[in-house]
Amino acid sequence: MSNIVIAMDTLSNIKLIGADVKDILINTVVPILGIFFVAKTWKETGSPLKTFVALIAAGAIWWGVLNMTLLRDQTGETWNHNGTKAAAQVTVAVATGGEGR
């Protein structure tokens, strides 16, 4: 019995570590890559307008990553008008006996 408890505790710890890694990736790696992208754009072009557009793009990507579940749910509601999560039903004609022969 204690082995089961230890295994469940280990699984819950792994899930918590996975959630922490996900938070670290979202809150540190994405902004660092965005800053790198904006700095690279500024260095290559020297244009304030292109750098500003790169800044807006990096911010939009970061916002999209932070709101992934919101976007997923809204997309699901848009594509499934009746509110169900089931796949679309496909009707297939099946040939039965030889009525048309």
Residue 29 falls inside a structural domain:
yes
Residue 99 falls inside a structural domain:
no
The tens-digit pLDDT sequence of the chain (101 residues) is: 577 767 777 878 888 888 888 888 888 888 999 999 999 999 999 999 999 999 999 999 988 888 887 777 776 666 666 555 555 556 666 666 665 55
The helix/strand/coil state of 58 is helix
Q: At what angle do helices 30-45 and 48-66 cross, to 10 degrees?
A: 170
**87: CB partners within 8 A, 6+ apart:** none
Domain residue limits at 42: 2-79
Sign of the CA dihedral with 51 first, then 54, 58, and 64 last: positive
> 16-44 in b/e burial notation, b at 16+ Cβ within 10 A?
eeeeeeeeeeeeeebeeebeeebeebbee
pTM for the full model? 0.56
Residue 40 falls inside a structural domain:
yes
Residue 93 falls inside a structural domain:
no
